[in-house]
Amino acid sequence: MTTHVNTQEKVHKLNELIEYYEVCNRAEGKSPKTISWYSANLKNFRNYLKNRHLSDSLDNIDTKLLREYWSAPIKVTTV
């Protein structure tokens, strides 16, 4: 039996998934403030990657990177 791997798989970018997550949260009936809070936090992470010239491809996001993000000084933003 041979397993075939699709080498043409789509690379998921964080921004696309943030938008998709917003749609899912709306469909689930979450409050607008909750959706806004979730999205703001994810966009802050995306900006963290961008400011450090790091890829926002999910293939490049690992535990080490997440720990670095959470240990970085917090910049408060309003929604």
**Section 20-31 average pLDDT:** 97
Q: What is the pLDDT of residue 11?
A: 61
Question: Which of the four pLDDT bands, split at 50, 70 and 90, describes residue 78?
Answer: low
Token pair listed for 65: 């990177």
Q: Which residue has the tokens 């699709």?
A: 6
Q: What is the pLDDT of residue 7?
A: 45
Question: Which of the four pLDDT bands, split at 50, 70 and 90, describes residue 51?
Answer: very high
Q: Which amino acid is at 40?
A: A
The pLDDT > 90 percentage for the chain reads 62
Rounded to two decimals, what is the model's pTM? 0.72
Question: Which of the four pLDDT bands, split at 50, 70 and 90, describes residue 75?
Answer: low
